[in-house]
Amino acid sequence: MPRLILFNKPYDMLSQFTDRGTDSPRATLSDCIAVPGVYPAGRLDRDSEGLLLLTDDGRLQSRIADPKYKLPKTYLVQVEGDIGDDALAALRQGVALKDGLTRPAEADRIADPGLWPRTPPIRVRKSVPDSWIRLTIREGRNRQVRRMTAAINHPTLRLVRWRIGDWTVDGIAPGEWREQRIEI
Protein backbone atom coordinates (compact mmCIF):
# COMPACT_ATOMS: atom_id res chain seq x y z
CA MET A 1 0.00 0.00 0.00
CA PRO A 2 1.25 3.48 -0.77
CA ARG A 3 2.17 5.84 2.03
CA LEU A 4 0.38 9.16 2.26
CA ILE A 5 1.45 11.93 4.61
CA LEU A 6 -0.85 14.83 5.42
CA PHE A 7 1.35 17.76 6.45
CA ASN A 8 0.33 21.19 7.73
CA LYS A 9 2.95 23.34 6.03
CA PRO A 10 3.75 26.46 8.05
CA TYR A 11 4.13 29.93 6.55
CA ASP A 12 7.63 30.68 5.15
CA MET A 13 8.56 27.05 4.51
CA LEU A 14 9.56 25.73 1.09
CA SER A 15 7.58 22.72 -0.11
CA GLN A 16 10.74 20.80 -0.97
CA PHE A 17 13.31 18.89 1.08
CA THR A 18 16.38 21.00 0.29
CA ASP A 19 17.22 24.66 -0.20
CA ARG A 20 20.11 24.69 -2.63
CA GLY A 21 21.86 27.74 -3.99
CA THR A 22 21.05 30.32 -1.33
CA ASP A 23 23.32 32.06 1.14
CA SER A 24 20.62 32.12 3.81
CA PRO A 25 18.96 28.71 4.07
CA ARG A 26 15.21 28.67 4.52
CA ALA A 27 12.97 26.16 6.27
CA THR A 28 12.21 23.06 4.20
CA LEU A 29 10.18 19.90 4.57
CA SER A 30 13.25 18.12 5.97
CA ASP A 31 12.94 20.30 9.08
CA CYS A 32 9.67 18.53 9.95
CA ILE A 33 9.45 15.27 8.01
CA ALA A 34 12.12 12.59 8.36
CA VAL A 35 10.40 9.92 6.28
CA PRO A 36 12.57 8.52 3.47
CA GLY A 37 11.14 8.04 0.00
CA VAL A 38 8.18 10.42 0.14
CA TYR A 39 7.76 13.42 -2.15
CA PRO A 40 5.25 16.28 -2.32
CA ALA A 41 2.24 15.73 -4.56
CA GLY A 42 2.01 19.31 -5.79
CA ARG A 43 3.34 22.49 -4.30
CA LEU A 44 2.34 25.17 -1.87
CA ASP A 45 4.03 28.57 -2.10
CA ARG A 46 6.39 29.63 0.66
CA ASP A 47 3.97 32.33 1.77
CA SER A 48 0.99 29.94 1.86
CA GLU A 49 0.06 27.56 4.66
CA GLY A 50 -1.88 24.38 5.12
CA LEU A 51 -2.31 20.96 3.61
CA LEU A 52 0.53 19.47 1.62
CA LEU A 53 0.29 15.80 0.68
CA LEU A 54 3.40 13.65 0.35
CA THR A 55 3.56 10.10 -0.98
CA ASP A 56 5.97 7.37 -2.01
CA ASP A 57 3.76 6.29 -4.93
CA GLY A 58 4.21 7.94 -8.34
CA ARG A 59 0.71 7.07 -9.58
CA LEU A 60 -0.88 8.55 -6.47
CA GLN A 61 1.35 11.61 -6.70
CA SER A 62 0.21 12.16 -10.29
CA ARG A 63 -3.45 11.62 -9.41
CA ILE A 64 -3.24 14.25 -6.67
CA ALA A 65 -1.18 16.87 -8.52
CA ASP A 66 -2.18 16.52 -12.19
CA PRO A 67 -4.91 19.05 -13.13
CA LYS A 68 -6.46 16.55 -15.58
CA TYR A 69 -7.94 14.69 -12.58
CA LYS A 70 -9.62 17.92 -11.38
CA LEU A 71 -9.20 17.01 -7.71
CA PRO A 72 -10.89 19.83 -5.75
CA LYS A 73 -8.62 21.95 -3.57
CA THR A 74 -10.27 24.11 -0.91
CA TYR A 75 -8.61 27.19 0.51
CA LEU A 76 -9.49 29.49 3.39
CA VAL A 77 -8.50 32.93 2.17
CA GLN A 78 -8.31 36.17 4.09
CA VAL A 79 -8.65 39.01 1.61
CA GLU A 80 -8.33 42.74 1.83
CA GLY A 81 -11.62 44.63 1.80
CA ASP A 82 -15.22 43.79 2.48
CA ILE A 83 -15.88 41.21 -0.23
CA GLY A 84 -19.36 41.42 -1.74
CA ASP A 85 -21.69 39.29 -3.82
CA ASP A 86 -20.40 40.67 -7.15
CA ALA A 87 -16.83 39.67 -6.36
CA LEU A 88 -17.93 36.19 -5.25
CA ALA A 89 -20.02 35.84 -8.42
CA ALA A 90 -16.94 36.68 -10.51
CA LEU A 91 -14.97 33.89 -8.80
CA ARG A 92 -17.87 31.48 -9.42
CA GLN A 93 -17.96 32.35 -13.13
CA GLY A 94 -14.22 32.25 -13.72
CA VAL A 95 -11.72 35.08 -13.63
CA ALA A 96 -9.70 36.40 -16.57
CA LEU A 97 -6.00 36.08 -15.79
CA LYS A 98 -3.01 36.75 -18.07
CA ASP A 99 -2.82 33.02 -18.87
CA GLY A 100 -6.54 32.72 -19.64
CA LEU A 101 -9.90 32.33 -17.95
CA THR A 102 -9.98 30.22 -14.79
CA ARG A 103 -12.51 27.46 -14.39
CA PRO A 104 -15.52 28.38 -12.28
CA ALA A 105 -14.75 28.11 -8.57
CA GLU A 106 -16.90 27.51 -5.55
CA ALA A 107 -16.70 30.70 -3.51
CA ASP A 108 -18.45 31.65 -0.28
CA ARG A 109 -17.91 34.32 2.32
CA ILE A 110 -17.27 32.75 5.74
CA ALA A 111 -16.80 33.95 9.30
CA ASP A 112 -13.26 34.16 10.64
CA PRO A 113 -12.33 30.45 10.87
CA GLY A 114 -10.26 30.93 14.04
CA LEU A 115 -7.07 29.42 12.65
CA TRP A 116 -3.76 29.09 14.44
CA PRO A 117 -1.73 32.32 14.68
CA ARG A 118 0.59 33.03 11.78
CA THR A 119 4.19 34.05 12.40
CA PRO A 120 4.68 36.77 11.36
CA PRO A 121 1.09 38.00 11.48
CA ILE A 122 -0.50 39.53 8.38
CA ARG A 123 -0.29 43.27 7.95
CA VAL A 124 -3.36 44.96 9.40
CA ARG A 125 -4.58 48.36 8.25
CA LYS A 126 -7.09 49.92 10.60
CA SER A 127 -8.75 51.84 7.76
CA VAL A 128 -9.21 48.79 5.49
CA PRO A 129 -11.42 45.88 6.57
CA ASP A 130 -10.71 42.28 5.65
CA SER A 131 -12.92 39.28 4.84
CA TRP A 132 -12.61 35.50 4.79
CA ILE A 133 -13.74 33.32 1.91
CA ARG A 134 -13.74 29.57 1.25
CA LEU A 135 -12.59 28.98 -2.33
CA THR A 136 -12.56 25.60 -4.08
CA ILE A 137 -10.77 25.24 -7.41
CA ARG A 138 -10.18 22.27 -9.71
CA GLU A 139 -7.03 23.40 -11.45
CA GLY A 140 -3.63 24.40 -10.20
CA ARG A 141 -2.03 27.30 -11.98
CA ASN A 142 0.95 29.03 -10.42
CA ARG A 143 -0.23 31.28 -7.54
CA GLN A 144 -3.75 30.95 -8.92
CA VAL A 145 -5.77 31.83 -5.82
CA ARG A 146 -3.69 34.95 -5.16
CA ARG A 147 -4.04 36.04 -8.78
CA MET A 148 -7.80 35.38 -8.75
CA THR A 149 -8.42 37.49 -5.64
CA ALA A 150 -6.19 40.27 -6.98
CA ALA A 151 -8.17 40.25 -10.25
CA ILE A 152 -11.38 40.98 -8.33
CA ASN A 153 -9.64 43.78 -6.35
CA HIS A 154 -9.40 41.86 -3.07
CA PRO A 155 -5.71 40.97 -2.61
CA THR A 156 -4.93 37.90 -0.53
CA LEU A 157 -3.62 38.58 2.97
CA ARG A 158 -3.49 34.98 4.19
CA LEU A 159 -3.89 31.74 2.25
CA VAL A 160 -4.46 28.35 3.90
CA ARG A 161 -5.09 25.20 1.88
CA TRP A 162 -7.64 23.33 3.96
CA ARG A 163 -8.59 20.36 1.84
CA ILE A 164 -7.47 18.33 -1.19
CA GLY A 165 -10.16 15.89 -2.32
CA ASP A 166 -11.23 14.03 0.83
CA TRP A 167 -8.06 14.83 2.79
CA THR A 168 -8.04 17.75 5.21
CA VAL A 169 -5.59 19.55 7.47
CA ASP A 170 -8.22 19.77 10.22
CA GLY A 171 -6.70 18.65 13.52
CA ILE A 172 -3.07 18.86 12.36
CA ALA A 173 -1.02 21.68 13.90
CA PRO A 174 1.40 23.72 11.75
CA GLY A 175 4.64 21.80 11.25
CA GLU A 176 2.96 18.51 12.22
CA TRP A 177 1.91 15.58 10.06
CA ARG A 178 0.07 12.31 10.17
CA GLU A 179 0.34 9.27 7.98
CA GLN A 180 -2.62 7.66 6.33
CA ARG A 181 -2.58 4.29 4.58
CA ILE A 182 -4.72 4.18 1.47
CA GLU A 183 -5.63 1.73 -1.23
CA ILE A 184 -5.59 2.85 -4.84
Task: Give catalytic residues, as residue numbers.
Answer: 45
Euclidean distance between CA atoms 171 and 161, whole angstroms: 13
Which of 90, 13, 3, 92 is closest to 45 using CA atoms? 13
Beta 156-164 vs 49-55: how paired, if at all?
parallel
| Helices and strands (DSSP H and E) totals, the chain | 3, 11
The alpha carbon dihedral of 80, 84, 87, 90 has a sign of positive
H helix intervals, 6-112: 58-65, 85-93
Q: In this structure, which amino acid lies at residue 166?
A: D
Task: Give the Cα separation of 99 and 110 in Å (integer).
Answer: 29
Rounded CA-CA distance 97/85 in Å is 20
